[in-house]
Structure 1
């Protein structure tokens, strides 16, 4: 019996890993194709046009420059291209003066790392400069002379830049995927807060707070993908037309960030309110329903900001604006049947959260806050 359970668990693990691996591979087809075209193209150019024999540094520098990192692509490409080129050049210079050997390799590596740290704080730049200079000293010199490899690295870097400009992935894909995930987390936080209030479950309210805090990693990922997308849209002729859309998305992301921060404060306060039984049944029902309605509005906002079709996106933005405005106009202790100070504090915390979400739909602060009833 234990052996059968072990085999079953192993097969379940392998199935899960296979599904994850297949999904990861299918999502990397375009990038893999770009890297292949870039590396082979750089190698062929250095070999056929420049006449270099076995220009491996042209292929490796271009392939490393593209990579699978989520860092801004233009910065990464420039860091790697310059790091590779400068590292090979440093190695070639020191090779010319000191020759090859282990102590020469140690000297080159030490000097290259210090030079890289002097020029730039990026870890990618430092690693590439040090690695390439070390390889130059350890590998035999090519027939074309010591600086042939430096020219190969320049070719690889230029090909990586060319691929980044002319054949980029759609820059909107990653930030829109990240926005959908982030707003999904915010919607879950609001729904869990509503359920915690409805069931007088302070533990569940604490779980909502933990979830809201854990969303910071998604927000950091979104910030990175937004920077990368804007860089690609700036330099790529194919996607320059999306700059306004990405600018609007960046503006919305700023307000979503504020809404998530407010959700953390709200969830933390909700735990205390539940523990002190500070609200009547009528108030609990009204406020929990407002939270559920706000979560519904967040779901519509998610579809709007992550959608590709401009017409559908506009319709969803208007729908999100309507649903969130309906929540905003209720946020007064009177309509929510709240009579004690603790409950009033919850309403005061929820008001700026809903205003932030309304601003994420494209409203100005004055128009968004105008939906709130006067206190």
Structure 2
């Protein structure tokens, strides 16, 4: 390969890596500052206020408790902090009984790990308890006494917890963005289904089904995100007023989860219907129109969920509810000019999906159900 070509590729690689690295660095400023304050602050407090000499465990306990995260979760901080403190305490207690040495270190480490597994199933908790107890037994006892290290660990853990509660980002931001993206994925599934019907393409329907199935991992991850946001809102004074809003997001997520499950049922049946060419031309046209209108309504709902201003969000939710309700009022085989059993089955399967989406706008099940025409 020519030298100039090697240089060109190397330069391009370095430019890309530099851009990615700079972007990652910019996003890491806040957690880096938090970790710095936590580590140095814990050490300074233990040394200057409590008078401990070389309180290294205050710094390490604070750092590992907080971890490197843009939004540290309270449960994780508590879990790691308690693990650090217990590990140090167990190590110091066993040292008083067994003394120092390699065989003592082996016994203390084994006992600490087994104690951690008894107390909690968390892997991080077990690792921290074992690590801290091992460090305690291998490092020399400080001049200020053995149990000062346990106090240092408490100091570090408390500072990490305070930072988590006092300096979080708005806990609504990430759940709103993720739920909005999930709704847009739902809209795309509906549009892919519409295209499959329009082209009488069973393979396209199967692709939509695969896409719908792929949303479950996103939903599970969202539940974790929402749980962390709820923890922050419960503990951080600045965000306690948002607890009801986060609860509403949780209800909306549950409704969207049901809608996506019903989407999978619908698309699976749709693929079978298309395989057997069981839809009439007029029935197919009606289903295509319904699916596309429903996709547009879900896009409106996604925009509403992602809106940051409450007044704009309320307006967009009303619009999305109107659009969903308009589709719901047409969900009767006769109104869609569908006469065959296979087409009627598709309409029946779409009805609960639309009800779930209406519930995600804040309606009760009964109010959402009232939009549907009675089947007679």
- Structures share a fold, TM > 0.5? yes
Is 2:327 the partner of 1:327?
Answer: yes
The residue that corresponds to 1:129 in the other structure is 129
Is contact 2:31–2:69 with CA below 8 Å preserved after alignment? no
Residue aligning to 2:40: 40
Which residue is 1:361 aligned to? Answer: 361
Query: Structure 1 residues 184, 45: closer, same or farther in 2, change over 3 A?
Result: same
TM-score, normalised relative to structure 1: 0.93
| 1:294–1:327 Cα contact (<8 Å) kept | yes
Cα shift at 1:2: 10
Q: Is the 8 A contact 2:65 2:160 kept in 1?
A: yes
CA distance in 2 between partners of 1:319 and 1:13 (Å): 47
Question: Could you report, residue by residue, the CA deviation over 1:149-174 in whole angstroms, capped at 9, with x for unpaired residues?
Answer: 11110001111121122222211122
Please name the residue that 2:225 is paired with. 225
Shift, 1:297, TM fit:
1.4
- Per-residue deviation, 1:343: 1.2
Name the counterpart of 1:58. 58
Structure 1 residues 13, 92: closer, same or farther in 2, change over 3 A? same
Query: In structure 1, the residue corresponding to 2:41 is in which secondary structure?
Result: helix
Instruction: Give the direction of change, closer, same or farther, for the CA distance of 1:338–1:11 in structure 2 (3 Å limit).
Output: farther
Contact conserved, 1:178 with 1:221, CA < 8 A, in 2?
no
Match of residue 157 from structure 2: 157
1:214 to 1:150, Cα distance in 2 relative to 1, 3 A: same
Checking the alignment, whether the CA contact within 8 Å between 2:28 and 2:70 is kept in structure 1 is no
Query: What corresponds to 1:117 in structure 2?
Result: 117
SS state of the match for residue 141, structure 2? coil
**Secondary structure at 2:191's aligned position in 1?**
helix
Aligned to 1:243: 243
Question: Does the Cα contact within 8 Å between 2:60 and 2:156 map onto a contact in 1?
Answer: yes
Q: Which residue of 1 aligns with 2:200?
A: 200
CA drift of 1:282 comes to: 2.0
The residue that corresponds to 1:167 in the other structure is: 167
Q: Is there any run of 5+ residues in structure 2 with no aligned partner, and where?
A: none
The alpha-carbon deviation at position 222 of structure 1 amounts to 0.7
Alignment of 1:170-319 (within 5 A): 170-319=170-319
- Distance, in Å, in 2 between the alignment partners of 1:12 and 1:190 is 40
The answer as to whether partners of 1:71 and 1:224 remain within 8 angstroms in 2 is no
SS in 1 for 2:238: helix
**Distance between the aligned counterparts of 1:364 and 1:152, measured in 2?**
52
> 1:120–1:358: structure 2 CA closer, same or farther, 3 Å change rule?
same
Moved more, 52-61 or 201-210: 52-61
8 A contact 1:72–1:224 mirrored in 2: no
* Whole-Å separation in 1 of the counterparts to 2:7 and 2:323: 51
Cα distance in 1 for partners of 2:26, 2:299 equals 27
Aligned equivalents of 2:138, 2:347: Cα separation in 1: 68
Change (3 A) 1:204 1:15: farther
Q: String of CA shifts for 1:59-109, please: whole Å, max 9, x gaps.
A: 121122222469982211211111100000111112222233322221111
| Structure 1 unaligned spans of 5+ | none
Alpha-carbon distance between aligned partners in 2 of 1:33 and 1:280, rounded to the nearest angstrom: 64
Mapped partners of 1:16, 1:284: distance in 2: 48
Check conservation: 2:86, 2:129, Cα contact below 8 A: yes
Conservation of the 8 A alpha-carbon contact between 2:187 and 2:296:
yes
1:337–1:15: structure 2 CA closer, same or farther, 3 Å change rule?
farther
The 2-side partners of 1:296 and 1:205 are apart by 19
Structure 1 112/3 Cα, relative in aligned 2: closer, same or farther at 3 Å? Answer: farther
Is 1:374 equivalent to 2:351 in the alignment?
A: no
Mark the CA change 1:9 to 1:270 in structure 2 (over 3 Å): closer, same or farther. Answer: farther
Number of residues of Structure 1 aligned to a counterpart in Structure 2? 375
Question: What is the root-mean-square deviation of aligned Cα atoms in Å?
Answer: 2.3
TM-score between the two structures when normalised by the length of structure 2 = 0.93
CA distance in 2: counterparts of 1:3 and 1:352, whole angstroms: 64
What SS does structure 1 have at the residue aligned with 2:278?
coil
